Structure 1
Amino acid sequence: MPHVFEIVAKDGAGRVGKLYTSHGIIETPAFVPVINPHLPVISIHDLKKLGFELFITNAYLIYKDEKLRELVLRKGIHDAFNWNKAIMTDSGAFQLMVYGDVEISNLEIVEFQSKIGVDIGVILDVPIYKGSIDYRKKFINETIRRAKEAYEAGYVTEDSRTIWVGPIHGVPYPSLLEYSVKNMTRYPFSMYAVGSIVPLMENYQLVQLIKSAVVVKSKLPTNYPVHLFGAGHPAMFALFVLVGFDTFDSAAYALYAKDNRYLTPYGTYHLRDLRYFPCDCPICTEYTPQELMKMDSMHRQHLLAMHNLYVAQAEIRRIRQAIYEGTLWQLVAKRASSHPEIARAYKWLLDKRNLKAYQFFEELEPVFKNKGLMITRDEERYLPVIRRYRERIIDRIFLWSDKVIISTPEGSNDLPTLIGAQVLILNSVFYVIPREIRHVYPLFQHMSPYSGIDPSALDFTERFIEYLREKGVKEIYVYDTREENAKKLAERLNIEEIYSGQDVGIISQEQEELFRAKAILRYQFGPGAEDIIEKVQIEYSPTTGRLRKIFAADVTKEEIEKVIIPEIEKHIEKREKLGKPIPSDPLQEMFIDKGKIWLLAAVTPMHFKLVPHPLLAYRMWQKFRDELRYMIIINEEAEPFVRAGRTVFSKFIVEVDKNIRANDEVFVLNEEKDLVAYGRAILSAREMMDFKRGAAVENRWGFKR
């Protein structure tokens, strides 16, 4: 079953997605409860009540039970279970792990899953939990052989109605994981899964698991949904989603209930230790811990299992919301406070020496998010969005003066706006912030507990000063409202002069606005983007006083003909449809009478991101089309639809700028490199090329041919 997955929203390597099955669409991330076909702790009715769209059961156990086998073969697994949504089955690998053997072959269990109509099936892989690398590789090779066997027998095919899962083994060895991924992706599985993690989960070896996840996700194409076998504690869900797992299954909800254990998103309680329930699910609002303890064991087990599943579902909803908001890292940080091993895993991901993890996340991490950063832990100063800024500012700073004042945050507010020296603000999180772009996400949109200037920020600033001198800066000053602080800072940065009102010149209001617009353009779109404007007018918000719109005051005759007149015509069409009055001379009234200025870009209040209008798109296209800077090429099939304003779908993309990240503003070209449209990137460059299903760019404007 090809191309079964699409991304709807992203944060970190986590994604809210749609998994298309023969029995409906599964919203991911999703927890998949394990249902024992012989001893179900909860009923199918309970699953429906809890809102599950998918469960997993064991095809091997069903096959071994003659009556149950005959029932599912006759009626199909969905009718047999009275379930009209998706069903996933495991193949008996767990029993193979426990008992060392199963009384069925790989092809027999694959054929059985196919016959009973499961939506998601798994080949009979061989779990491995111990032994040398060579020993483990033998078992990986056997799983690969079975994948080939299922493919050659005609089950694992691109047109199969079953989503076949390719198990990846080799945890915790990177070389084995890479070997497994390389060989399993030779076959047309629609989904992959990481297995053999039980020992790591039982011993809370989360760092090893997360390291393995980064290896697997770095090597797998991004368009496949990825499952994690045997991960069932809600405290860990956010961490697993952050590193890119889309679904995970477990029977922990039932096993814990059997042992009178009560799950929460931040840990586990034994029922006997609870005086009050810290939860408002239907179970916890109807009963007290004492009442549950007095019940017969079967009834208590059922109610505890229901509570555990309510908690799991609530955490999944919380994670999805965090992804939409762009706060998934913050949610994982909260969960990290609940267990030292989760904290260790989180810290490993953000270790400043961990270049592989950073590169993995940077490629997938959105550039702009819907909520600001709330930094509560030291390692979070190395969040991908923060490290990305420190990398980008080196060549994306717009230098407009040969004089620079390096100021503390307090001092920057004291320096005049029209001063003739460029002001760089020291910051413990971002290190150096040019004053012109201080409102751009995430520079303004963050909070942290740090008040002073971190030594790392000063080390970075020292190196940055050398870079400034290389770029032609001649005079560098240090400033703080308190002279003593300024002296200490100057000594630390090896700067001789403290700014105390020296004549560094002044600039006009028009220059300040132009420099600010150029600085934002260069930071958002890279070096050279500032050159597309030479004269602007700025519109400010009447409530906040911040920049809201940038108008070009240097419009050329060519731009009037190719951009402004077509844009006016499009606006007139909209007015006609709405029954609004039409100007007798639209160009005169909408352009000439307004001072011959035209809207280049609007600025979003939350992100301080430039949202291009047609004129800016045209200028960017003219300057950067040869290098495809922030550009996407689509095929001719999609072109007329995209010009008409339709969404850009991944399957029509033939080439992209590899530096595009989710939420970037991008420009869409045809194969002749003509400008077709512009819009907001939903996916990163890598994902745009991998995916063959779903939207890649939200179209803001289509250009008529």
Structure 2
Amino acid sequence: MTWRTILKSPLSVSHRACSTHSMNLDENSFSHTETSNSSMYHRGIEKKRFWGRCMTAWMSGQRDDPTPCRESDRNKFEVVARDGCARIGKLHTAHGVLETPALLPVINPNIRTIEPREMWDRYGIQGLITNSYIIWKHDDLKQHALENGVHDLINYPGVIMTDSGTFQSYVYGDVEVGVEEIVEFQRSIGVDIATMLDVFSRPDMTEDDVKQAVETTIERCEASLKAAEHVMLNGPIQGGIYRDLRKQSAIRMGAFDFSIHPIGGIVPIMEKHRYKDLAKIMLATIGELPPERPRHMFGCGHPMLFSMLIALGADLFDSAAYALFARDNRLLSPQGTYRLKDIHSWPELVPSVVDWTPEAVRKLNDEDRTALLARYNLEITLAELSRCKQAVHEGTIWQLAEQRSHQHPALREAFLWLTTRPFPSGLSSEFLQDLVQDDRDAAREHHPNGGIWETDWSQVVSRQAIQRKKGERWGGEDTLSRPHIITARAHLQHRWRPSSTGPTDVLVLNGKPGPWRQRCDLLVLRLKSVLPELEILVQTPLGLLPYSLEDLNPFAQVDGPTWLWKRRLNTVLLREEIHRLHINADRILILDIGQDSLIQEASTLLIKHGLLEEPLQVDDSHLPQLRDDLRRRQVVDKLVVLANVSYSEAVDLVESCTYIIGGTGRVKNVIDKHGNHILSPRLADGGLSITDRGSMTIYGRRSTPVLDDKEYDPYAGSGHGPPLLVVEQDAVEFVLRGRNVFHGFIIKCDPWLRAGQTCFIVDEHGTLIGHGLAQCDADEALRFRKGIAVRTRSDFSKTFK
């Protein structure tokens, strides 16, 4: 089953205003004026001084300057938390650590609506972007920057990125500076992140012209990198609206030693609200870029767009919108854009307007009004970015993107395009028009080659964690299109196997939310005693779930209205899903478990369809053995689905095991025949924890070496057990003592290594030295040079003294 994804982003609004590069609307007329208006802003607003380590805490007073990173960490990027493709990261620089996702406010060195120092002190903004071409072109700015550095020029202690003049060439025509000259200039003024002079590709350019722009940009890479020397350099991705050229640009630019990859040429697309095209650019590009480098959305900074772009893997944004919208009396919001003249009450109450009514702001002079609205817009933007970060930590970034997609029709169309399979190829456009019944149908890809995007969407899906700590909140039809839900269903259907390969009858339990064990265990035990080949499944809002996995997250933990469990099932779709679970179904029976007298109702149903001749009658003395058989099947299926153990090996492993039962009747611990605790089914998410002894037992059954000759493939090595990760000898002693595995010490790994799953850690000789929870996939494990690759859950130094 293939779906697809990509995220679309911007909003209605003149996107030059939303662009980083728009800071020089009329660069030649600017004079060097500093208009911080801080006294007006602070009038009547006294904030308690807050001293803390969190840079994002808003405060009054002055913050300490940033601490430079360690020299060995400079220019490295690490991921500290994730939700699928969404990442919380840290970029290490000489002017401190830049936490991502991050907004880099655009600063025009000639006109400063908010002073950079205030951005650092008050808002804790760790990085900003300014334009090196403007500095280079104005003699007074150029001289100051060359003598004292760009940080002194704009009075800002944090990370400074500079643009090269590419956008100016798009707006005004050719720039006057050379390819190497502009990079050398950026290096000479002490920027942290420079940008090469690429060739801008517009959406109205022909494919041949865009191809030439891509080629010219690539030809400039080597000279630009040489001129940058030790300075981090942006390698922009161009390619217009052409999928193949975007991919080619990403692959070839990624082969050079750039530090960050901005996705360029998207401003004119956003200006025209061509969000579906933007979504296609994102899908075509992100999967081809080196994962260890941040991805920057050049010219995108409207808060409505953050959640979708972050969900697809964007790390950096830049924007002058906070100031440009303010000059035009417009207010930014995650819900869209408002005009001050239409505002009666503030859409969101933030510190900048706590003492101001909209009417009072309208009466201010232009300078004061712009200053206040700029701070309002900046605070709204930062608040939405913080909301997105929290969603990543909670594992709900895609749900937030769902909500935001409803804020603009074109954005909604793009979102639906991402998450909806295309129409089959070969159908005429006239026929397809007749098939359009709703927004989702209208958003489907109609092109004969629409299926080509499925490969790109599958990369988004494959990087989702299979299990989550929290339950799933129902969000309507969008719920089943969430990438992590698609992953959970596909993973279950790929790994789980029924007890019989021949024709069998299937009983589907429906009509009641979990937990199902308390209500249905006795029924299941009695059914299995008389119909041992009967496959029993539970119908959940997210799909069918084998009864042996009835507590598995996310299927068992859906927070939604009661009708979800009571709706009438479509038998045609039900049979298709049963087939995807590899069950050769003969008769399919549906039992409403919301009824009273459940065993009696089940007997009546089975007799009616000829599976029984008389009501269920079981000698209760057989129940203990039947319950042990069910518990054994539950452990076997969790080993198969969650630990990638083959069915035969799992059966053999637990055959002689005993169980410690908790107070709720669930298996708490699994004990092997030697008395060793090897496994523990988890109550919170229905998962399976492997102990140190258990890892030795499972690893001892593996006969194949590390399959490191393949790219990342979550379904490779079926039945080989948890993925292996081989570390250098220098790390062995630390891992044995329970220390985490860090990037830079990994030699190779199995291609099915996936973030959020258990993996086994071995030395170069194949000796097991630990196990833990992977924080990355196979590609990332080998490419990152900073951060935690595996959170170790073992301590062999204590277990095997």
- TM band (smaller chain): 0.7 to 0.9
Question: What code does the residue aligned with 2:260 have?
Answer: M
Q: Which segment is superposed worse, 367-376 or 265-274?
A: 367-376
In structure 2, what is the Cα distance between the partners aligned to 1:454 and 1:113? 65
The aligned residue for residue 63 of structure 1 is 136
Is 2:195 the partner of 1:122?
yes
Report the TM-score, using the length of structure 2 for normalisation.
0.76
Is 2:252 the partner of 1:145?
no
The aligned residue for residue 671 of structure 2 is 552
The aligned residue for residue 183 of structure 1 is 252
The aligned residue for residue 628 of structure 2 is 510
In structure 2, what is the Cα distance between the partners aligned to 1:341 and 1:297? 33
CA contact (8 A) 1:668 1:676 kept: yes
Equivalent of residue 616 in structure 1, options 664, 687, 694: 694
The correspondence of residues 308-387 of structure 1 with structure 2, limited to 5 A, is 308-353=377-422, 355-387=454-486
In structure 2, what is the Cα distance between the partners aligned to 1:180 and 1:327? 31
**Closer, same or farther in 2 for the Cα pair 1:5/1:548, shift >3 Å?**
farther
> 1:498-519 deviations in whole A, cap 9, x for unaligned?
7784569965222222122112
Structure 1 segments unaligned to the other structure (5+ residues):
490-494, 556-596
Report the alpha carbon displacement of residue 392 of structure 1 after superposing the two structures with TM: 2.7
The aligned residue for residue 166 of structure 1 is 235
The aligned residue for residue 492 of structure 1 is none
> 1:660-697 deviations in whole A, cap 9, x for unaligned?
22110111111221111001111122221221221110
CA contact (8 A) 1:633 1:655 kept: yes
Report the alpha carbon displacement of residue 476 of structure 1 after superposing the two structures with TM: 6.0
1:655 counterpart SS class: strand
In structure 1, what is the Cα distance between the partners aligned to 2:111 and 2:632? 71
In structure 2, what is the Cα distance between the partners aligned to 1:447 and 1:12? 21
In structure 2, what is the Cα distance between the partners aligned to 1:331 and 1:64? 43
Report the alpha carbon displacement of residue 315 of structure 1 after superposing the two structures with TM: 1.0
1:551 counterpart SS class: strand
Report the alpha carbon displacement of residue 188 of structure 1 after superposing the two structures with TM: 0.9
CA contact (8 A) 1:478 1:498 kept: no
Report the alpha carbon displacement of residue 461 of structure 1 after superposing the two structures with TM: 3.2
CA contact (8 A) 1:33 1:56 kept: yes
CA contact (8 A) 1:541 1:547 kept: yes
The correspondence of residues 191-590 of structure 1 with structure 2, limited to 5 A, is 191-353=260-422, 355-397=454-496, 399-400=498-499, 404-410=506-512, 413-414=519-520, 416-419=523-526, 420=528, 421=532, 424-427=536-539, 429-449=541-561, 450-452=564-566, 458-462=572-576, 464-465=578-579, 470=584, 477-481=589-593, 497=610, 501-502=615-616, 508-526=626-644, 527-528=646-647, 530-531=650-651, 532-542=653-663, 545=664, 547=666, 549-555=668-674
CA contact (8 A) 1:165 1:192 kept: yes
The aligned residue for residue 691 of structure 1 is 784
Question: What code does the residue aligned with 2:466 have?
Answer: V
The correspondence of residues 35-74 of structure 1 with structure 2, limited to 5 A, is 35-48=107-120, 49-74=122-147
2:380 counterpart SS class: helix
Identity %: 30
In structure 2, what is the Cα distance between the partners aligned to 1:697 and 1:372? 24
**Closer, same or farther in 2 for the Cα pair 1:455/1:510, shift >3 Å?**
closer
**Closer, same or farther in 2 for the Cα pair 1:548/1:333, shift >3 Å?**
farther
In structure 1, what is the Cα distance between the partners aligned to 2:90 and 2:631? 44
Question: What code does the residue aligned with 1:530 have?
Answer: A
Report the alpha carbon displacement of residue 636 of structure 1 after superposing the two structures with TM: 1.7
Report the alpha carbon displacement of residue 624 of structure 1 after superposing the two structures with TM: 2.5
In structure 2, what is the Cα distance between the partners aligned to 1:451 and 1:607? 20
Equivalent of residue 160 in structure 2, options 64, 83, 87: 87
Report the alpha carbon displacement of residue 40 of structure 1 after superposing the two structures with TM: 1.1
Equivalent of residue 18 in structure 1, options 74, 90, 94: 90
In structure 1, what is the Cα distance between the partners aligned to 2:294 and 2:124? 21
Report the alpha carbon displacement of residue 8 of structure 1 after superposing the two structures with TM: 0.7
CA contact (8 A) 1:363 1:684 kept: no
Question: What code does the residue aligned with 2:336 have?
Answer: G
In structure 2, what is the Cα distance between the partners aligned to 1:305 and 1:120? 25
In structure 2, what is the Cα distance between the partners aligned to 1:11 and 1:467? 27
**Closer, same or farther in 2 for the Cα pair 1:621/1:553, shift >3 Å?**
closer
CA contact (8 A) 1:675 1:703 kept: no
The aligned residue for residue 602 of structure 1 is 680
Q: Which segment is superposed worse, 201-210 or 65-74?
A: 201-210
The aligned residue for residue 32 of structure 2 is none
Report the alpha carbon displacement of residue 477 of structure 1 after superposing the two structures with TM: 4.5
Is 2:207 the partner of 1:100?
no
> 1:364-423 deviations in whole A, cap 9, x for unaligned?
212222322223131331322222233233343354477642222449645624231555
> 1:309-340 deviations in whole A, cap 9, x for unaligned?
11111111111111111000111111112222
Question: What code does the residue aligned with 1:686 have?
Answer: D
CA contact (8 A) 2:164 2:197 kept: yes
The aligned residue for residue 632 of structure 1 is 725
The aligned residue for residue 50 of structure 2 is none
Q: Which segment is superposed worse, 443-452 or 672-681?
A: 443-452
**Closer, same or farther in 2 for the Cα pair 1:110/1:397, shift >3 Å?**
same
> 1:22-51 deviations in whole A, cap 9, x for unaligned?
111111000111011101111123202111
**Closer, same or farther in 2 for the Cα pair 1:350/1:548, shift >3 Å?**
farther
Question: What code does the residue aligned with 1:23 have?
Answer: H
> 1:198-234 deviations in whole A, cap 9, x for unaligned?
1121122222112211211111121111111111110
The aligned residue for residue 737 of structure 2 is 644
CA contact (8 A) 2:658 2:673 kept: no
**Closer, same or farther in 2 for the Cα pair 1:482/1:11, shift >3 Å?**
closer
Q: CA RMSD in A?
A: 3.0
In structure 1, what is the Cα distance between the partners aligned to 2:236 and 2:665? 53
Report the alpha carbon displacement of residue 122 of structure 1 after superposing the two structures with TM: 0.1
Report the alpha carbon displacement of residue 293 of structure 1 after superposing the two structures with TM: 0.2
2:220 counterpart SS class: helix
**Closer, same or farther in 2 for the Cα pair 1:122/1:481, shift >3 Å?**
closer
CA contact (8 A) 1:168 1:192 kept: yes
CA contact (8 A) 2:150 2:190 kept: yes
The aligned residue for residue 443 of structure 2 is none
> 1:595-630 deviations in whole A, cap 9, x for unaligned?
xx3322234443222121112101110122525532
2:278 counterpart SS class: helix
Equivalent of residue 149 in structure 2, options 68, 76, 84: 76
Higher relative CO (CA 8 A, sep ≥ 6), structure 1 or 2? 2
Question: What code does the residue aligned with 1:406 have?
Answer: V
Structure 2 segments unaligned to the other structure (5+ residues):
1-72, 423-452, 603-607, 707-720
2:287 counterpart SS class: helix
CA contact (8 A) 1:13 1:364 kept: yes
Q: Which segment is superposed worse, 417-426 or 686-695?
A: 417-426
Report the alpha carbon displacement of residue 452 of structure 1 after superposing the two structures with TM: 4.7
Report the alpha carbon displacement of residue 347 of structure 1 after superposing the two structures with TM: 1.6
Aligned residue pair count: 652
In structure 2, what is the Cα distance between the partners aligned to 1:400 and 1:682? 33
